Structure 1
Amino acid sequence: MKLLIFTLTLILFTQPGFSQNHFKRNDIYIETGGNGLFISANYERQLTKEPGLGVRMGIGMYSENTFYLTVPIGINYLFTTNNPKGFIDAGLGTTFARENAKLFWEKKTIQDDHFVSFIPSIGYRRHTTQNMMWRISCTPVINQYGFVPWIGFSVGKRF
């Protein structure tokens, strides 16, 4: 009788463990183009236990005639597709850029050049069986200098 009670208790308490979702909610990745403008390292966290709303933040660089430190932040939403490892990735982001890699909280001088870009995005994201991810996105850049069509490609690790 004790063995039966022990077995039933074990089944009741371990059952939820077998049905847990294995969706990984954290991504760390390198992105070329995209929200970081040239290249950036990013961390992304899904706020739900299933694919859905997520937030991201990174640090990167952009260089035209001078070097800029960039800080991309944003939100995104993963829409499921027929493929359980493929998603439509739609997001809105803002990227802060400051000349000569000066930290954003340092005292500004007359020569400081900085700008803020608004970057909407739409793309395709794929999760692999090795807990890797890749994404390709259309990420047009909108800022004080105008509108620039842009694309981004990301590759990274899920955990």
Structure 2
Amino acid sequence: MKQILFTILILAFTFTCFSQNSFKRNDIYIEAGGNSLFAGINYERQLTKQPGLGVRIGVGMYSENAFYLAIPIGINYLFTTNNPKGFIDVGLGTTFARENAKLFWEKKTIADDHFVNFIPSIGYRRHTTQNMLWRISFTPVINRYGFVPWLGFSVGKRF
């Protein structure tokens, strides 16, 4: 009786281990354009064990007439496609940008410029067999200056 019970427990444990979902919930990636505005690095965490709701935070930079530090945060949702490694990626993000980032820790002796960007996104994401990812998205930037059509491209590692 002990041998039968032990065998059943071992088989149940084995089936449970091998039937675990291999979906990786953490991503770290570099981004050109997109929520980071010009370039940045981001960390993303899926909140569910299956593709679905996720959150992201990162640090980026933007430069036009001055250097801006950009802090993108947001949520996204991964919709599955017919391809098990491909997803439609829809998100809402906010990017805080501040000119002359050194003023964060120094006394403010000159006026600095900061603004908030609202960035919705829709794109295609692909997970590879080597636990890599790439994504291309339409990420229009909406801020106090108006609406700017924008694109983003990301590549990174899943873990």
Normalising to structure 2: TM-score of the pair? Answer: 0.94
Secondary structure of the residue aligned to 2:3 is helix
Gaps of 5+ in 2: none
Query: Does the 8 A contact of 1:69 with 1:102 survive in 2?
Result: no
Q: Residue 55 and residue 109 in structure 1: after superposition, are their counterparts in 2 closer, same or farther (change >3 A)?
A: farther
Q: Residue 54 and residue 106 in structure 1: after superposition, are their counterparts in 2 closer, same or farther (change >3 A)?
A: farther
What displacement does 1:75 show?
Answer: 0.4
Q: In the alignment, what sits opposite 2:113? A: 113
Instruction: Write the deviation string for residues 55-79 of structure 1: whole angstroms up to 9, x where unpaired.
Output: 0000010000110000000000000
Q: Residue 101 and residue 44 in structure 1: after superposition, are their counterparts in 2 closer, same or farther (change >3 A)?
A: same
What displacement does 1:12 show?
Answer: 2.4
Q: Residue 87 and residue 105 in structure 1: after superposition, are their counterparts in 2 closer, same or farther (change >3 A)?
A: farther
Query: Does the 8 A contact of 1:36 with 1:71 survive in 2?
Result: yes
Once the two structures are overlaid, the 10-residue window that deviates more, 126-135 or 1-10, is 1-10
What displacement does 1:157 show?
Answer: 0.1
Q: In the alignment, what sits opposite 2:63? A: 63
Q: How many correspondences in the alignment?
A: 159
Amino acid paired to 1:96:
F
Amino acid paired to 1:60:
G
Gaps of 5+ in 1: none
Q: Residue 105 and residue 81 in structure 1: after superposition, are their counterparts in 2 closer, same or farther (change >3 A)?
A: farther
Amino acid paired to 1:64:
E
Amino acid paired to 2:150:
W
Q: Residue 72 and residue 106 in structure 1: after superposition, are their counterparts in 2 closer, same or farther (change >3 A)?
A: farther
Secondary structure of the residue aligned to 2:50 is coil
What displacement does 1:149 show?
Answer: 0.6
Q: In the alignment, what sits opposite 1:5? A: 5
Matched, 1:102 2:92: no
What displacement does 1:105 show?
Answer: 6.8
Once the two structures are overlaid, the 10-residue window that deviates more, 83-92 or 16-25, is 16-25
Within 1, Cα distance between the matches of 2:107 and 2:95? 20
Q: In the alignment, what sits opposite 2:137? A: 137
Secondary structure of the residue aligned to 1:102 is helix
Within 2, Cα distance between the matches of 1:19 and 1:74? 31
Across the aligned residues of Structure 1 and Structure 2, the Cα RMSD in angstroms comes to 1.5
How much identity, in percent, do the aligned residues show?
Answer: 81
Q: Residue 99 and residue 135 in structure 1: after superposition, are their counterparts in 2 closer, same or farther (change >3 A)?
A: same
Q: In the alignment, what sits opposite 1:92? A: 92
Normalising to structure 1: TM-score of the pair? Answer: 0.94
Instruction: Write the deviation string for residues 29-84 of structure 1: whole angstroms up to 9, x where unpaired.
Output: 00000000000100000000000000000001000011000000000000000000
